[in-house]
Amino acid sequence: MIKERMFKGGEFLITDALPEEVFSPEDFTQEQRLIAQSAEKFILGEVVERKDELEEMNPVLLRQLLLKAGELGFLSADIPETYGGAELDKVSSSLIGERVGQGPSGFAISQMAHTGIGSLPIALFGTAEQKKKYLPKLASGELIGAFALTEPEHGSDALGAKTTAVLSPDGKYYILNGQKQFITNAGFADVYSTYAQVDGEKFTSFIVERAWKGVSLDAEEKKMGIHGSSTCSVVFQDVKVPVENVLGEIGRGHVVALNTLNVGRYKIAALTVGVAKMLIGEAVQHAKTRVQFGRPICEFGLIKQKIAEMVVKTYVTESMVYRTARLLDLALEGVDPADEDAGRKTGDALRSYALECSINKIFGSEMLGYVADESVQIMGGYGYIKDNPIEGAYRDSRIHRIWEGTNEIMRLVIVNTLLRAGKTGVLPLREACARVKENLKGNANEASHEGGLLEDERAMVARAKQMMLLVIDCAIKKYGSALPNEQEVVGLLAYMIIEVFAMESGLLRALKKAMKEKEERSIIHRAAAQVYIHESFPRVEMMVKETLAALFEGEDLATKLTDLKKLAQFIPANVVALRREIAESVIAASRYHLTRL
């Protein structure tokens, strides 16, 4: 019997997984479903009810709601039970994040920042004393957390931060001086994890309390979107941080920062799925009631196409989010969160999935940009008017491509992580590339399957991987260790890697759905997977071509293109018809109905 498999980070690029081996929303346990429903009820009953009051930053209401959420356990999925947390698996935590995303963004962002980057540094890397002191109150919402890393001069190159920490003569305090910028929740947070250079170059993490002398805030930023959340600068002027509040080790603050950001990353993707589902619901309901030329506009082909595209992209993102969440859970199975060494072990386990987490963040944020944009379009002029929630969602969505690691940095991380895994032998990358070249010499295009469901698409995903491995191999051969400096090529490689994970995750989920339920119940799932793969496959080919043209010329290029041609053949499916089918099903249900709870 085929069982679930703990694939290594990046392993999906060199292995064709089977549906039974990966997790999908069809595998939610009863407990996970109940958690999702409970979170949804809370958001609808308590937060959505007061959405008008949450449009502009309302710290009093935000704190009240966060406390209520804390009481129910919705703030502490990632906090160990020993410290008052709910200690949930990552799948459950993602389900909560998704439901939170369906509500007003002021609350959603505050909750996300508090439970993610706001609490994780201490939850993952605190000493027992630090955890005891802060975690129970972070879990309940009595204390609100924030992550103060970015500075005016240091965003992406966060590790170059200029905030200084100097040990006091009596050795009891570090004196902190500097300024942090664009800190979410800062306006009402009580506890920050922050980052400063000790002795000028030892990047170190500290726990700082808002109430301490010398900590001050600048005015709230006037942002394009997420107006209901707090974003401001935090200024440290001779702040005395007790040495007990050093988080992790001196000079190893990057371990705290980068591992925290890693988890924060895939949490964003979960949030984007929730927002997207909400927007699809709004757009579809509008399209059903808006009558033009004597018909509701949901009957028009171009509108159906938009609805289908929104659904397909959301479906694929959702497939990736839960596949990744479960991988993290499997990797963390051996780690006892109450263990003294839990932080390091967790960091190690998570770092190996930096590739998948980065993919999630990029894909989710870009998917949301698309869904928000097309939702405005479906709304027409109304989507442009301030009181319409879609208008706000459009402006809200933009930040996700920027924060917690810009999508450009994420692309570099993806490729660097892969290259490192290949170099250190963790991933047999070289062997995989060699196998592809061997297969090309012969005529073994792919093993023939038994004519199962989505057989063509399975083959296409497998060939997309081969196309990508072929070109990665060429890029490594040409640039060697200088490849990371060829950012445009890195970007192209990252594009292919992302598309492969996306295509495969959608495919495996649709096949899982067909396996677990009656085949007819999986029609829309399979249609969504098919549409995505038929759209994505030719794009992968195009990126491969562009890369080859950057690497080769003349005869060499011609040879490589011939190789590529063998892998890039496909017969396009009737995606026009498939999209119509998807749209009509979603329109009848008035919402994104592909995930049953």
Partner 1 sequence: MNIIVCVKRVPETSEAEIAIDKSGKSIRAEDLVFDINEWDNYAVEEAVRIKESQGGTITVVTLGPPESQDTLRRSLAMGADEAVHLSDPALFDGDPYATARALHAALKDKPFDLLLTGVQAGDDGYGQVGPILGELFHVPHATMVTKLTVEDKKARVHRELEGGMEEVVSLDLPAVLAIQTGINEPRYVSIMGIRKAKSKSLRELTCTDISLAPEDCGPAGSLIEMKGLFLPPTGKAAEIFKGSPDDVSIKVIDIVKEKGGL
The alpha carbon torsion through 219, 230, 374, 535 (nearest 10 deg) reads 110
Q: What SS3 state is found at 501?
A: helix
Report if residue 18 touches partner 1, rule: CB under 8 A.
no
Q: What SS3 state is found at 134?
A: helix
Report if residue 593 touches partner 1, rule: CB under 8 A.
yes
Task: Determine contact, residues 312/532, Cβ cutoff 8 Å.
Answer: yes
**Which residue's CB is nearer to partner 1, number 68 or number 162?**
68
Taking CB under 8 A as the criterion, the residue among 6, 224, 576, 588 binding partner 1 is: 588
Answer left, alpha or beta for residue 274, where phi above 0 means left and psi between -120 and 50 means alpha.
alpha
**Which residue's CB is nearer to partner 1, number 406 or number 590?**
590
Report if residue 385 touches partner 1, rule: CB under 8 A.
no
Interface with partner 1 by CB under 8 A: which range of 42-50, 179-187, 349-357, 419-427? 42-50
Report if residue 157 touches partner 1, rule: CB under 8 A.
no
**Which residue's CB is nearer to partner 1, number 549 or number 589?**
589
Nearest 5°: phi and psi at 302? -70, -30
Q: How far is the CB of 516 from partner 1 (least distance, A)?
A: 13
Taking CB under 8 A as the criterion, the residue among 14, 66, 79, 86 binding partner 1 is: 86
How many helices and strands, by DSSP H and E, does the chain display? 18, 10
Q: Which helix (H) or strand (E) holds 488?
A: helix 487-516
Of the candidates 418, 148, 378, 150, the residue with the CA atom closest to the CA atom of residue 285: 378
N residues, the chain = 597
Taking CB under 8 A as the criterion, the residue among 2, 30, 441, 443 binding partner 1 is: 30
Report if residue 139 touches partner 1, rule: CB under 8 A.
no
> Under rule CB under 8 A, how many of the chain's residues touch partner 1?
28
Q: What is the DSSP letter of 178?
A: E
Task: Determine contact, residues 412/476, Cβ cutoff 8 Å.
Answer: no
Report if residue 223 touches partner 1, rule: CB under 8 A.
no
**Which residue's CB is nearer to partner 1, number 88 or number 436?**
88
Q: How far is the CB of 43 from partner 1 (least distance, A)?
A: 10
What whole-number distance in Å separates Cα of residue 567 and Cα of residue 467? 7
Mask of contacts with partner 1, 260-289, x by CB under 8 A? -------------------------x----
**Which residue's CB is nearer to partner 1, number 35 or number 135?**
35
Task: Please report where in the chains the tokens 């498999």 appear, as a residue.
Answer: 5
What whole-number distance in Å separates Cα of residue 386 and Cα of residue 383? 8
**Which residue's CB is nearer to partner 1, number 377 or number 590?**
590
**Which residue's CB is nearer to partner 1, number 41 or number 516?**
41
What whole-number distance in Å separates Cα of residue 490 and Cα of residue 95? 32
Q: What SS3 state is found at 204?
A: strand
Q: How far is the CB of 25 from partner 1 (least distance, A)?
A: 14
Taking CB under 8 A as the criterion, the residue among 7, 12, 23, 42 binding partner 1 is: 42
Q: What SS3 state is found at 480?
A: helix
Taking CB under 8 A as the criterion, the residue among 5, 15, 20, 38 binding partner 1 is: 38
Q: Which helix (H) or strand (E) holds 197?
A: strand 191-198
Interface with partner 1 by CB under 8 A: which range of 31-39, 105-113, 259-267, 499-507? 31-39
Q: How far is the CB of 46 from partner 1 (least distance, A)?
A: 8
What whole-number distance in Å separates Cα of residue 345 and Cα of residue 504? 29
**Which residue's CB is nearer to partner 1, number 284 or number 368?**
284
Taking CB under 8 A as the criterion, the residue among 132, 477, 521, 565 binding partner 1 is: 521
Report if residue 33 touches partner 1, rule: CB under 8 A.
yes
Of the candidates 578, 529, 524, 521, the residue with the CA atom closest to the CA atom of residue 305: 578
Q: How far is the CB of 44 from partner 1 (least distance, A)?
A: 10
Q: CA 5, 273, 300: angle at the middle one, nearest 5?
A: 120
Report if residue 353 touches partner 1, rule: CB under 8 A.
no
Q: How far is the CB of 520 from partner 1 (least distance, A)?
A: 9
Report if residue 142 touches partner 1, rule: CB under 8 A.
no
- β-strand partners of 231: 184
Which is it for the CA torsion 144, 203, 249, 216, positive or negative?
Answer: negative
Mask of contacts with partner 1, 50-79, x by CB under 8 A? ---------------------xxxx-xx--
Identified catalytic residue from 26, 404, 499, 504: 404
Report if residue 41 touches partner 1, rule: CB under 8 A.
yes
Report if residue 203 touches partner 1, rule: CB under 8 A.
no
Report if residue 188 touches partner 1, rule: CB under 8 A.
no
In DSSP notation, 292-343 reads: ETTEEGGGSHHHHHHHHHHHHHHHHHHHHHHHHHHHHHHHHTT--TTSTTHH
What whole-number distance in Å separates Cα of residue 442 and Cα of residue 429? 21
Active site residue 220: no
Taking CB under 8 A as the criterion, the residue among 243, 338, 385, 597 binding partner 1 is: 597
**Which residue's CB is nearer to partner 1, number 209 or number 584?**
584
**Which residue's CB is nearer to partner 1, number 57 or number 120?**
120
- β-strand partners of 204: 196
Interface with partner 1 by CB under 8 A: which range of 212-220, 392-400, 468-476, 588-596? 588-596
Report if residue 48 touches partner 1, rule: CB under 8 A.
no
Q: Output the CA–CA distances (angstroms, integers) from residue 22 to 19, 315, 460, 552, in the order listed.
A: 6, 16, 19, 37
What whole-number distance in Å separates Cα of residue 309 and Cα of residue 372? 12
Report if residue 311 touches partner 1, rule: CB under 8 A.
no
Report if residue 591 touches partner 1, rule: CB under 8 A.
yes
**Which residue's CB is nearer to partner 1, number 77 or number 255?**
77
Residues that bind partner 1 (CB under 8 A): 30-31, 33-35, 37-38, 41-42, 45-46, 71-74, 76-77, 86, 88, 285, 521, 585, 588-591, 593, 597
What residues are labeled active site? 404
